Structure 1
Amino acid sequence: MSSREAILASVRANLPKVERPLPVVPHFDSNPPASLIDAFGAMLKRMGGSLLDPGPVDDPLAPVRALLAESRLICSAVPEIAGERDLAAVTEPRALADVDHAVVRAAFGVAETGSVLLTDTDLQVNSLAYLAQHLIVLLDPADIVVNLHQAYARPEFREHHYAAFHTGPSATADIEGVLILGAQGVRSLSVLLAPRPSVNRT
């Protein structure tokens, strides 16, 4: 047994045997914004992302198709949009380094921060949301929560291998305040509010 293992074993063996319930953490959501969609869109824009205008009733995904019209390589993790790279065939994360546009669906969004949450199920290959040049996220408006307190109470954090918040595109700034987007990740993050496809349960 290494020194590290011996120390950790000793700590575990001497933990207090007192049962204390965890404190109840409030959600701080007693005064939510009048419109979660408006609040989410405003914060998303503030963080450098964009909320796409809704498409026509007969083609709600038209705004996404417009963004993809000039794309060099599309990779889609959603059934609503066809991609040119099969995620099921990707064996190494770096194989997605040449993706121009990635399309995913978020588990939920957070009005307080303009964030979307992506899990291993949503991405299928974790590098999809980081190596692509541009990230397009479908978000069901019914899945927008008020704040991060509500967000962390959601089951996604317990049911998945990982869950990551994305708040706008990658960005960095130097001490002179020059902001650069896409420095370590996606250059743009666009969100389209699109209800989840209905599931035939019969």
Structure 2
Amino acid sequence: MGNREDILKAVRKSLEGREKVAYPAIPSFEKPGVDLKALFEQNLKLAAVDFYDIDSIEEAQKIMKDKLPAAKVICSSTPEWQGNKDITAVEHPKDLNDVDLGIFRAEFGVAEMGMVWVTEKSLKVNAIGFLSQHVAVLLDPSEITENMHTAYQRNGLLDVNYGCFVMGPSATADIGAYLVRGAQGARSLTLFFLKNGNITT
């Protein structure tokens, strides 16, 4: 076998004169008449997510205060919801290991899976979604896509250094199918449907 350049030269020669063929089209598998929010909510329930339709951040704050009365350290990566731990002052991800409630706005949701897409843009410090004891997520209800095929067609999806889909609180099960939630990450995830731009001071 020849060296690298010989191999590449042979490949180029074999391709000369060949007609270029377009990649096959991948369908999006969308179904007509799907209520995206209703489907999303159905799958949120399966993922053990509590969700609420709200009109203001104050509503969300009251709900979380009632759910987590003992929460002391609250850290938010969105200016809509102020916490008492400043995420811009975090120097190392491990500095978030004392957070009782972490808050961020998801960029969009996937109805088929009941999950949300987040990146370093929405999290600010990626660890907020995983070291926080409990997580509260804001989502614009108009930003729900039907399935993974339509999700990957969204503009700019991969124009980030870090991004991941988050689906419910942490959960793990042993071979006996005994399910434990919160063993390796957030113990609960609460999602609030709130349109973008509802920033109050």
CA contact (8 A) 1:68 1:74 kept: no
Q: Distance in 1 between matches of 2:10 and 2:73?
A: 54
Distance 1:49 1:15 in 2: 56
Cα RMSD of the aligned pairs, angstroms, is 2.4
Contact 1:75 / 1:99 at 8 angstroms: preserved in 2? yes
Q: Which amino acid aligns with 2:80?
A: E
The partner residue of 2:62 within 59, 62, 65 is: 65
Residue aligning to 2:40: 40
Deviations 1:4-48 (A, max 9, x none): xxx9x77x9479545543221111003352x21111011011011
1:176 aligns with 2:182: no
**Cα deviations by residue, 1:105-126 (Å, 9 ceiling, x for unpaired):** 0000011010000111000001
Match of 2:153 in 1: 153
Using the aligned pairs only, state the percent identity: 35
| Equivalent pair of 2:103/2:137 in contact (CA under 8 Å) | yes
Deviations 1:55-106 (Å, cap 9, x if unpaired)?
A: 3x5x454133321462211000111111111111111100000101011000
Question: 2:192 maps to what in 1?
Answer: 192
What is the distance in 2 between the residues matched to 1:197 and 1:83?
Answer: 18
C-alpha distance in 2 between matches for 1:14 and 1:44: 53
Match of 1:97, as an amino acid? Answer: N
Structure 1 stretches of 5 or more lacking a match?
Answer: 1-6
Does the C-alpha gap of structure 1 residues 191 and 148 become closer, same or farther in structure 2, counting only changes over 3 Å?
A: same
Kindly tell me: are residues 15 and 148 of structure 1, through their superposed partners in 2, closer, same or farther at Cα, counting changes over 3 Å? farther
Q: Structure 1 CA distance, aligned partners of 2:94 and 2:10?
A: 43
Count of matched residue positions in the alignment of Structure 1 and Structure 2: 188
Alpha carbons 2:80, 2:198 under 8 Å: kept: no
| TM-score between the two structures when normalised by the length of structure 1 | 0.84
The aligned amino acid for 1:27 is S
Other structure's SS at 1:72 match: coil
User: TM-score of the superposition, structure 2-length normalised?
Assistant: 0.84
Gaps of 5+ in 2: none
**Cα distance in 2, alignment partners of residues 47 and 64 from structure 1:** 22
